[in-house]
Amino acid sequence: MTGALIIAGLGPGSDHMVTPEVTAALARATDVVGYIPYVARIAPRPGLRLHPSDNRAELDRARAALEMAAAGKRVVVVSSGDPGVFAMASAVFEALEDRPDWHGLEIRVLPGITAMLAAAAAAGAPLGHDFCCINLSDNLKPWEVIETRLRHAARADFAMAFYNPRSASRPEGFARALGILRDECGADRLITFARAVSTPDQRIATVTLAEARPEMADMRSLVILGNSATRRVGPWVYAPRRAG
Amino acid sequence: MTGALIIAGLGPGSDHMVTPEVTAALARATDVVGYIPYVARIAPRPGLRLHPSDNRAELDRARAALEMAAAGKRVVVVSSGDPGVFAMASAVFEALEDRPDWHGLEIRVLPGITAMLAAAAAAGAPLGHDFCCINLSDNLKPWEVIETRLRHAARADFAMAFYNPRSASRPEGFARALGILRDECGADRLITFARAVSTPDQRIATVTLAEARPEMADMRSLVILGNSATRRVGPWVYAPRRAG
Question: How big is chain A by its Cα radius of gyration, in Å?
Answer: 19
pLDDT of res. B38: 97
B128/A84 touch (CB, cutoff 8 Å), yes or no: yes
pLDDT of res. A138: 79
Residue A8 pLDDT grade (very low, low, confident, very high; cuts 50, 70, 90): very high
The partner residue sitting opposite A90, judged by closest CB among B103, B125, B145, is B125
A117/B242 touch (CB, cutoff 8 Å), yes or no: no
Provide the shortest C-alpha distance from residue B109 to chain A (in Å): 5
User: Quick check: B152 pLDDT over 70?
Assistant: yes
State which amino acid sits at residue A147. E
pLDDT of res. A55: 78
- Single out the residue of A47, A26, A28 nearest to residue A38, CA to CA: A26
A122/B109 touch (CB, cutoff 8 Å), yes or no: yes
pLDDT of res. B55: 78
Q: How many Å apart are CA B52 and CA B104, to the nearest integer?
A: 26
The partner residue sitting opposite B125, judged by closest CB among A84, A127, A152, is A84
Does A147 contact chain B (CB < 8 Å)? no
pLDDT of res. B1: 53
CA A61 to chain centre: 18
DSSP chain A: ---EEEEEE-BSS-GGGS-HHHHHHHHH-SEEEEEHHHHTTSPP-TT-EEEEE-TT-HHHHHHHHHHHHHTT-EEEEEESB-TTSSSHHHHHHHHHHT-GGGTTSEEEEE----HHHHHHHHHEETTSSSEEEEE---SSS-HHHHHHHHHHHHHTT-EEEEES--BTTBTHHHHHHHHHHHHHH-TT-EEEEEESTTSTT-EEEEEETTT--GGG--TTEEEEE--TT-EEETTEEE--SS--
pLDDT of res. A244: 56
User: Quick check: A85 pLDDT over 70?
Assistant: yes
pLDDT of res. B154: 98
Q: Which comes out higher in pLDDT, residue B133 or B168?
A: B133
Phi first, then psi, for residue A54 (nearest 5°) are -75, 165
Please report residues of A whose CB lies closer than 8 A to that of B85. Answer: 117, 127-128
Does A103 contact chain B (CB < 8 Å)? yes
**Best residue of A133, A147, A180, A190 to probe chain B, by most B CBs closer than 10 Å:** A133
